Every structure is written in structure tokens, then in C-alpha cells.
Amino acid sequence: MPPTTRLTLAIAALVVAMGCQQSTDRAQEHGSSNLPVSDTVASGTQRPTIIDSASGALAHRREPQHLLDTARTLFRQGAFANAAEELRAAAAYFRSVRDSAPAITRERVRAAERALDSLARRVERGSEVPLRQFDATLSRANRTESERHLVRSTEAWATRDTIRAAEELLMAVDHLERAAKDGGGTLDRAERNMLGEARQLGTDLLRHAPLATRASMDRVYSGIGHAIERLGEQETRQRPR
């Protein structure tokens, strides 16, 4: 089964588990109430619990994007040794998060690490690397980061750690948009609207505005998963044969 298909199935399974867990929690908290989470929020009788995460993931955000951007700039300037150094640093980042990555994304994280190391060796040797191929490697790295943050967000939301879920969701959106830009892919109007909704949900949750319903989170989680897959398929079709 292709990795992207496994991602979609994993997100679907997490969404189902999230719904079951939250429904159980609500039933325990409110006795005989059988309203699903989204209905209780809509009716104003119950809001999702806001749990502050001690991690402060956004405040202490350590991401490979600056390394990838710098590598691309140096590569275009012909500073190949310096570009290779930035690529190796980006590979080291993926290596550092690999073991803690959700299991469903771990192999993709490992693949991103290897691809960046391989590209660094080719660039440093002065091998001819088309810019399109260079950018495709960076785009795949960003898709991998989007996947990793997406799954981490669903896991946090399932445990009602809404601050962490919001932080991870916002990072998933950022990396997906960058993956499309780096890879020369396109997000359609529905995908752009969905990402806008995801960013708004994440921002509202960080502001302690508990407006997100289970249905709205389900929708953006599924939408981001499908968009990641579609960009991957688009990139595969564009590869030289």
C-alpha cells in the first residue's frame, strides 16, 4: 500500500478514535447526555476543554525551512559547498526528529533525511543537478513535515490537548503551502479555502476561543491529508522519465 494511502487511512482512524474518546468523555462528564461533541458545542451547552500545553511548540519552533531556503539561494548562486552544508544540516534535523515522529510518518521522515543527504553529496561534488530536481527534494521534505505535524495534531486533539493540537495544525498548514510552492504544484480553490479554515481554527484555539467543533477539525484534518497526497501524486507525474 502506498505511503500516502496509509496516511489517509491513519488520519481516518485517528478521527474515528478521537470521536469515540470524546463522546465517552462527554458521557462520563454529563451522565445521561448522548449529544455528540459537535452538537453540544453548537447548542452552547458544552465547549471543548482547553488544556494549556507546556511545550510552547510555536514559541520554541525549530524547523528546517530556513536551512532549505538558504540552501536553495546558495545553490542558485553557485555556492555549492555552502549549499551542501545547509542541506546536511536539514538532513540532521530530520534525523533528530525521526525517532519521536508518529509511527505512520517515520519512514517518510527517514526518506527525507536520506534524500537531503544524497542531494548534499551530489551538490558538493559539483554534479549537475537541475533546479527542478533540487526543488522537488525540498518540496518532498516539506510534505513530510506537513504529514508529521498533521498526525501529531490529531493525536493531541484526541487527548484534548487543544493548544498543542492548534500549534501542530498551524505548522502542518505552513509546510503544506511551502511544499506546493517549492515543488511548482498548485493548490485548488477548495484546498486553499480549507487551509484558510485550518489556520483560523488553529489561531482561534491558541487565543482560547474554543469555537472548533469535532466536525470542523475532522474536515480540516481529512482535507490536509488529501492535499498532501494529491501534491505527492502531482510531483510524481512531473518527474522526468
Region 205-210: what's the mean pLDDT? 80
Whether the pLDDT of residue 189 is over 50: the answer is yes
In total, how many domains does the chain have? 1
pLDDT over 90 (residue 237) = no
Is the confidence at residue 120, as pLDDT, over 90?
A: yes
Rounded CA separation 127/52 (Å)? 49
Separation of CA 172 from chain center:
3
Give which of 153, 171, 170 is closest to 162, Cα–Cα: 153
- H-assigned helices in 37-130: 37-43, 65-77, 80-98, 103-125
DSSP alpha helix (H) spans, 99-161: 103-125, 131-158
User: How many angstroms separate the CA atoms of 124 and 90, rounded?
Assistant: 15
Pick the residue with more confidence: 237 or 216?
A: 216
Instruction: Write down the pTM of the prediction.
Output: 0.77
Domain residues for the domain of 198 are 3-238
pLDDT at 18 > cutoff 90: no
Q: Is the pLDDT of residue 42 over 80?
A: no
pLDDT value, residue 239: 72
Does 32 or 162 have the greater pLDDT score?
A: 162
- Dmax over CA atoms of the chain, in Å, equals 69
Is 50 exceeded by the pLDDT of residue 73? yes
Sorting pLDDT into bands at 50, 70 and 90, what band is 29?
very low
Q: How many C-beta atoms lie closer than 10 Å to residue 164's C-beta?
A: 24
Closest CA relative to residue 65, chosen from 141, 132, 131: 141
